[in-house]
Amino acid sequence: MQLTSHPKKLIKPLQQGGVIAYPTEAVFGLGCDPLNETAVMRLLSLKQRSMDKGLILIASDFSQIVDFLKPLNDQQKQYTQPSETTWIFSAKKDAPQWITGKFDSIAVRITQHPPVRQLCALLGSALVSTSANLSGLQPAKNSNEVIVQFDQLLDGVLDREVGLLLKPTEIRDSLTGKIIRE
C-alpha cells in the first residue's frame, strides 16, 4: 500500500482499478473509479457493504458527474456547485447498478475539501465515496485509523487532514429538499 501526501501519486493506482482512502470533509473515504465494476465490487467487499445501498460519488466539478444523471430542472441546478452537502439526483437508466444500488438515483457531492478536490481534478473523474470503515465500526478520521482497519487491503492512502465537519455530510433530496441524513 502506498501512503502519500501527494494526490498525483494515486492517479495510476486508480486508473488501474485500485481502491484508495482519502480525506473528506469529516472522515476518510474509500474510493475508486465508479465506472470500473471490478474496483467497486472490491471496495464493497473490503467495506463489507451491500451493493443495494448505493454509493456516493464525489467530484471536483459537476461535469464529472453529469453523465450519470438525468437532466436537471432549474431548481436542481443550484446544487451543482461545491458544498458540504450531498445531493440525491435522478440517475440515467444506464447508470451502473453497482453505483445506484436498489435506487433510481445517485447521491452526489461536489466537494470543497482541497485534498479530494485536487485528486478528482487530477484524475479528471468523480470517485466513489463511502466512509473508510468496516461495517459497524466508526469511520477513520486519519490515515493511521485507515491503516488499522484496512492494513494492506488498499492500494493507497492520501495522507492529508480531514475537513472541519464533525460528522459526515448531510444528504438531501434535490427535488424536495428533504433531509435523508443529518
> Would you say 93 and 64 are in contact if contact means Cβ atoms under 8 Å apart?
no
DSSP 137: S
- Confidence at residue 180, expressed as pLDDT on a 0 to 100 scale: 92
DSSP 69: B
> Would you say 21 and 6 are in contact if contact means Cβ atoms under 8 Å apart?
no
- Confidence at residue 156, expressed as pLDDT on a 0 to 100 scale: 97
- Confidence at residue 162, expressed as pLDDT on a 0 to 100 scale: 97
- Counting as low any pLDDT under 50, the low residues of the chain are none
Topology of the domain covering 2-181: DHBP synthase (3.90.870)
Q: Please write the tens of the pLDDT for every residue from 91-136.
A: 999 999 999 999 999 999 999 999 999 999 999 999 999 999 987 8
> Largest Cα–Cα distance of the chain, in whole Å?
45
- Confidence at residue 151, expressed as pLDDT on a 0 to 100 scale: 86
- Confidence at residue 8, expressed as pLDDT on a 0 to 100 scale: 97
- Residue ranges of domains in the chain: 2-181
> Would you say 156 and 22 are in contact if contact means Cβ atoms under 8 Å apart?
no
- Confidence at residue 71, expressed as pLDDT on a 0 to 100 scale: 97
